[in-house]
Structure 1
Amino acid sequence: MIVDRGLTQAPALNWAALEPAFDILCPMHLRLTHTGHIVHVAPTLKKMRADIDLIGKRFLEVFRLDRPRSVKSMGELTQRARSKLHLELRDEPFTALKGVLVQLPDGQGALVNMSFGISVVEGVQDYGLNSADFAATDLAIEMLYLVEAKSAAMDASRNLNHRLQGAKLAAEEQAATDTLTGLKNRRAADHILAAALAEDSEFSLMNLDLDFFKSVNDTQGHAAGDYVLQEVAKVMRAETRKGDMIARVGGDEFMFLIDGLTKKEKLLEIANRLIRGIEKPIAFEQTQCHISASIGIAMRSRGDSEGLDALMLCSDRALYASKSKGRACATFFEELDEET
């Protein structure tokens, strides 16, 4: 008897025995019965729903089918075998997935293989996945490495930019600061005054000169002089407002921009506090350093046409008037006679 082997029915495949291999090749697949019930869940999908037992649930109860929208039942879904499916998990975080369904022979149900598609980065972050959760041939792994490399490069670039910006700001601050006293320097003062004039701001300009400072340097040395300047700077910060500019513009010469204030009574009050504070003896090593301060004040109102040089000349003339009066006092330019 001759048997036609081509017509002999092949034995049914044991899908349960094949599933370990499928889990490696397709770690995001499901096996369904012909009724759409889940009978096997691949390891990555298990990890994504570790708190839910998907076995026995209907496929369309776990996943919402976004496309094709016309599909409402498992029978309709099997008719769309091999078509691209757009799915979304019905539970938070409502992950979007791509899939394809393939019918198994002999009515043994169907396999649905899935992937994240372009949402792979969000999927990895949401579920704490790593390369072991994907097939070795999945291009998502290379994409993840590229994303990780790009992220690391961007972090490094941001850190570098922050450091460069910080260094730039530090350099700019250093360029505008008097290194001995920590006050603004002449360059910074000129810039701030020019900006105030350009904005047509109302302010007062004080010029302050230390009296008898040269004597401290000559008799007690430059170390004593430097210490006195640092102590004077502390008095100046304490007796002026936080937003006022204080600058050391010469060896013992200082400049103040008192923003928004042109009332003589208030300005004289500030000037007198400065004079009293600076007149207090300053102890250095075993000696006492005695100095005082003379101040000239010029006020600037909105709409005034004087430029920076003219305004500084006014405060200088008022300062020299204070020196002529005997020092340790303040004079307003507006109070000078024409002959002064």
Structure 2
Amino acid sequence: MSTQSSVLSSLRPMSLCVDAAGAIVSVGPTTRKVLGDIVGTPLFDMLDVSRPKGIGTLSALRAQSGAKLHVRARSAPETPMVAQIAMDEAGGMVIDFGFGIGVAEAVRRHGLTAADFSATDLTLEILFLIEAQQAAMAASRKLNRRLHVARLAAETEATTDGLTGLANRRAADLALRTLEAGETPFSLVHVDLDFFKQVNDRFGHRAGDIVLQDVARDLTEAVRPGDLAARIGGDEFLLVFPGLADADQLIRLCERLIGRIERERRMNDRIYAISASAGIALWHGGSDVSTEDLMGQADRALYASKAAGRGRVILAEPRCQPPPDVSPKAPGNFADGS
């Protein structure tokens, strides 16, 4: 290698020299690392000029001296490069390469380090800034995800009953306000447990909590995806059914639910039974709905079902009110188990 080529390779390690006939006569160390040992190869057997178009001869290439070219080497087609040409006194040329916007990928693909660039080349500093920015953005995205998860957890906690896992009164109020703003039919079912106080008095509050959790599972299984099951008081629950205002269907659902709640249970070798009463209020759609009025209707229907004997459901419509001579159900069935 001549002294001139040695100096060029030191100052511009991504360069190569071409003689007047178009053969590659020397290659800088970084060029060799990327393109391989191409000394002696005719330039146009190794290099394609993609922009400007139509450059396929030495005379056309010489005419671009000092201009920026977009090139691709056939030995490394996955690494697009930019190039600049300078003519020498003997009719040959020096071509200096760069990676342009693909520098980060080229550095990774070819395993380049600081030693592969000239001391005045800002490539590595730019890469450092890019990586620092990417690291900062990754940290920011991670923090945002954590904040999003924390916010969702806080929102879930704020609208969830801690004992049963059902929605709480706040969640029920939010759901009802949303329905109130629309015109879609919906229904409310107010459910209250019968004889629950006897469970607390006889077996303790921990037993009462277990009963509430068990009933919550019954309610969850009774509703559809998109419906709401909420605990709104000690042993009071609210079911909200968007898009459903079919009285017969709701009555059948409540009867099945009450039957499930009334199944025999065992606590500390004692058999006991609870029941539930329910009141239904319907909205058939349209404007000017008042969920407060509907809640009042469901409450009155619930109290009517308790007054009529408990363990039953009543629809908040005159045609569905029970006859006055309905005999009440027996109170909670407690007996020692054997």
**TM-score (ref. length: structure 1):** 0.85
In the other structure, the counterpart of 2:334 is none
The match for 2:280 among 297, 301, 317 is 297
Matched with 2:15 is 29
Cα distance, 1:243 vs structure 2? 1.9
Gaps of at least 5 residues in structure 2 are: 325-338
Letter in 2 for 1:63: L
Structure 2 equivalent of residue 123 of structure 1: 106
Cα deviation for residue 287 of structure 1 reads 3.3
Counterpart for residue 85 of structure 2: 100
Q: Which amino acid aligns with 1:326?
A: G
Structure 2 distance, partners of 1:190, 1:138, is 64
Unaligned 5+ segments in structure 1 are: 1-13
Distance of 2:34 and 2:269 partners within structure 1: 78
Residues 233-252 of structure 1: CA deviation (Å, up to 9, x unaligned): 11111222122100000000
Q: For 1:1-340, list aligned pairs within 5 A.
A: 15=2, 19=5, 22-50=8-36, 54-65=38-49, 72-78=56-62, 80-81=64-65, 83-89=66-72, 91=74, 92-93=77-78, 95-103=80-88, 105-106=89-90, 109-303=92-286, 305-334=288-317, 335=319
Residues 209-245 of structure 1: CA deviation (Å, up to 9, x unaligned):
0001111111211101111111111111122212210
- Structure 2 SS opposite 1:247: strand
Percentage identity across aligned positions?
40
> Alpha-carbon deviations, 1:100-126, whole Å to 9, x = none?
3241x556x332111123442343355
Aligned-pair distance for 1:49? 3.3
Describe the SS at the equivalent of 2:20. coil
- Asked if the contact 1:206–1:298 (Cα under 8 Å) also holds between the matched residues in 2, the reply is yes
8 A Cα contact 2:20 2:90, kept in partner: no
Secondary structure of the 2:49 match is strand
- Rounded Cα–Cα distance in structure 2 between residues aligned with 1:217 and 1:93: 75
One-letter identity of the residue aligned with 2:242? D
- Secondary structure (helix, strand or coil) at the match of 1:205 reads strand
Which amino acid counterpart does residue 83 of structure 2 have in structure 1? K
| Letter in structure 1 aligned against 2:220 | R
Q: CA deviation at 1:72?
A: 4.4
SS in structure 2 opposite 1:254?
strand
Partner-residue secondary structure (3-state), 2:112: coil
Structure 1 residue 44: deviation in Å? 2.6
Deviation at 1:131, TM superposition (A): 3.0
Farther off after superposition, 29-38 or 109-118: 109-118
- Contact 1:322 / 1:329 at 8 angstroms: preserved in 2? yes
Which whole-Å deviations, capped at 9, do the CAs of 1:84-142 have from their partners, x for residues lacking one?
A: 33122054336131323241x556x3321111234423433554534333223211111
> How many Å separate the matches in 1 of 2:40 and 2:64?
22
The DSSP-based 3-state class of the residue aligned with 1:297 is strand
Count of paired positions: 321
Once superposed, what is the RMSD of the aligned Cα atoms?
2.6
Cα distance, 1:199–1:126 mapped onto 2, change above 3 Å:
farther
